[in-house]
Structure 1
Amino acid sequence: MIRKTAIDLATRIEVQDFYSYEAELLDERCWEEWVDLFAAEAEYTAPIRVTRKSPAPDIIDELGHFDDTKASLVLRAKRLRTDVAWAEDPPSHTRRLVTNVRVRPGEQDGTLAVRTNFLLYRSRGDLGQFDLIVGERQDILRREDESWLISKRRIIIDQSSMSTKNLGVFL
């Protein structure tokens, strides 16, 4: 069920700017700065999507493409700067489009529940091949000082079967 609760325009614009900035950090390979957008207790998950007949659920939260904490995001970001991150050597060229930003009050004071749609274009090498990854991100943003931090991110990838050979990039 969709809850309709008013969020003031200034907050909406601030949140949209936050997501534009986040996409820019990722596309510019500023991974350490991107990780700084996450709260200390952050969860970053992407459950598996399967194709099933109704009414069976098509999202399996017990299995995932990844299930990270802030600490593991820090390690993944550092690893991308080394020569052992073979899935990203040479680095992918990416462009992230974040749209349909839906902002609602969170369950706890000082938090927002935000859903965004995303499209990730990713190309590798010189052969003209590319990946498109599409889905929805379900975030809990928490206000800390004068900025927002991602406290929880659940990524629902639309594809049940992905053509990409790896998920070496952040979504």
Structure 2
Amino acid sequence: MPAADGHRLRGGRGLRQLGPRGLLPGLLPPLAAGDERGAGLMVVDTDLHVQVSTLLAREATYLDEKNWDAWLDLFAPDVEYFVPAWLSEDTLTTDPRTQLCLMHMDSRLGLEERVFRIRSRDSFASLPLDRTAHQTSNILITGQSGDEVEVSASWLVHCVGPRGQATRGGRYDYTLRRTDGGLKIARKRIVMIDEKIEGTVDVYHI
């Protein structure tokens, strides 16, 4: 048989056609304008997706390494950091000023104060610091407006310390802002799937 545009595995049985070169494994080509398969989907710039994925990977690494200065530098000065609570089986709190929440800071200063308490060991939740392993996956760019990019992702964090082990998970919702210094986190909402929180939870546990 004549060869197709792709490549074939050697051997006479179990032949399967491979795709053309030039695509990274696991990445699909962007849909062309007018492609029916793209109805209702947003075409995302590959470079932007790489920047977003790199930012989220850096944040996870900095938290695991307790590299607080590098972690804080990822956030915009006016960042909102919000961990809502569950009102019911499928309803989260939305207003941290009038409803219960697990954590809320309305500026980077609030995060800096939290880090100060961790460094000074002036926090029961940080005595001693647990070891953590963050995993971020299913990263999606869900919207863009001006200099801001909306992103969602799934997360798992495994924690090990003197008080035992715990694995927590949930969803991240980010608003990222383009700046002269690159993408910065302007808003981060952390949804925990756990309804009941066992043990202590600090910024590096989630």
Name the TM-score class by shorter chain. 0.7 to 0.9
Find the aligned partners of 2:191 and 2:52 in 1 and give their Cα distance. 20
Q: Which has the higher contact order (CA 8 A, sep 6+)?
A: 1
Contact 1:7–1:105 (CA<8 Å) still a contact in 2?
A: no
Is 1:133 aligned with 2:188? no
Q: Tell me, which stretches of 5 or more residues in structure 1 are unaligned?
A: none
Q: Tell me, which stretches of 5 or more residues in structure 2 are unaligned?
A: 1-39
Is 1:78 aligned with 2:116? yes
- In structure 1, what is the equivalent of residue 101 of structure 2? 64
CA deviations over 1:61-89 (Å, ceiling 9, x no partner): 22210111211101001111113223212
- In structure 2, what is the equivalent of residue 124 of structure 1? 161
TM-score (normalizing by structure 1): 0.87
The letter for the 1-side match of 2:109 is: A
The letter for the 1-side match of 2:113 is: L
Sequence identity, in percent?
Answer: 22
Q: Which runs of 4+ in 1 moved over 6 A?
A: none
CA deviations over 1:105-146 (Å, ceiling 9, x no partner): 32x301110001100111112x7x211111101100001114
Match of 1:90 among 114, 128, 139: 128
3-state SS in 2 of match to 1:112: strand
Greater CA radius of gyration, 1 or 2?
Answer: 2
Find the aligned partners of 2:173 and 2:118 in 1 and give their Cα distance. 25
Find the aligned partners of 1:156 and 1:81 in 2 and give their Cα distance. 25
Find the aligned partners of 1:4 and 1:43 in 2 and give their Cα distance. 28
TM-score (normalizing by structure 2): 0.73
Q: CA deviation at 1:169?
A: 3.3
The letter for the 1-side match of 2:136 is: V
- In structure 1, what is the equivalent of residue 31 of structure 2? none
3-state SS in 2 of match to 1:80: helix
Find the aligned partners of 2:170 and 2:47 in 1 and give their Cα distance. 26
Contact 1:114–1:140 (CA<8 Å) still a contact in 2?
A: yes
3-state SS in 1 of match to 2:122: coil
The letter for the 2-side match of 1:60 is: T
- In structure 2, what is the equivalent of residue 162 of structure 1? 197
Contact 1:49–1:59 (CA<8 Å) still a contact in 2?
A: yes
- In structure 1, what is the equivalent of residue 138 of structure 2? 100
Higher strand fraction (1 or 2)? 1
Is 1:40 aligned with 2:57? no
Find the aligned partners of 1:150 and 1:13 in 2 and give their Cα distance. 15
Contact 1:115–1:137 (CA<8 Å) still a contact in 2?
A: yes
Q: CA deviation at 1:50?
A: 4.0
Q: CA deviation at 1:155?
A: 1.1
3-state SS in 2 of match to 1:87: helix
